[in-house]
Structure 1
């Protein structure tokens, strides 16, 4: 069984060792004149960790992540800084809740795409609030059993391709973060 927490610790250490933040910024500055390159600026941010507040046992993994990095960004995955999360209830097209209770919004994975933590179970759901606008049957893009599984497999791994639209659209092929994940061996094409 994979220890996702240990994998995240290892991957963050490797990114810092590689100077990945500076490298991706350098690539952006030397990149093409394409307007989409504006998105690429700052596609990786690894702020120092903090000593998190709160004692809710269900949010233990969130506190552990904040110790590693407070509000990191991995491509289109932008996690909120400690103390800036908020609660939200995801609904279907008819306004009915898709989960019981509310979820803690940890961050976003693009416009209108929220990363939600179930404070009871620790599960993470990536939810597109505008799914009906694009004719999709569900707003749930991705589900993971834990926060560290999400960071390990989606933010820093092969499931990154599942975050925005159908994988068969191959939007991710031009994404600088995806290409870097492949380059350093965290994901495979």
Structure 2
């Protein structure tokens, strides 16, 4: 993908990620709290919170990449430190997921109940894990033809842009 095509893509892509981080997922969380008892949905809310935290990181990264491409200054060292710390935070959030899930199950008297929305909770937590992998390890989202061609040609997923930038210590 050429530079101008990437700039055009990031001009709509990072605001979309930002909208999901600051609007879509929080609205879902508020609705869940309104419609359900907290004790029944806290594992689901935990997964949504993890998604929000990771999406905030992702939209920030894409904003920085756009700014770099159009010649705006970015505080590279400060942002590299942010992403290194965020990666550690994400790993802690992922490590706590089974514990939060077991606590949810305990609160439900060790029963799987429909009102606990367990399937949705597992989905939200799995989505957070996949988002972390997508940003910090391998690009899981294949949403344009250059990505499709790369996967077909190399028979593997690309290393994510953020993972490359962290390895090279530059944004």
* Bin of the TM-score, shorter chain as denominator length: under 0.3
Return the TM-score normalized by structure 2.
Answer: 0.28
Higher strand share: 1
Higher helix share: 2
Q: Mark the structure with the bigger radius of gyration.
A: 2
Structure scoring higher RCO (CA < 8 A, sep ≥ 6) equals 2
Return the TM-score normalized by structure 1.
Answer: 0.26
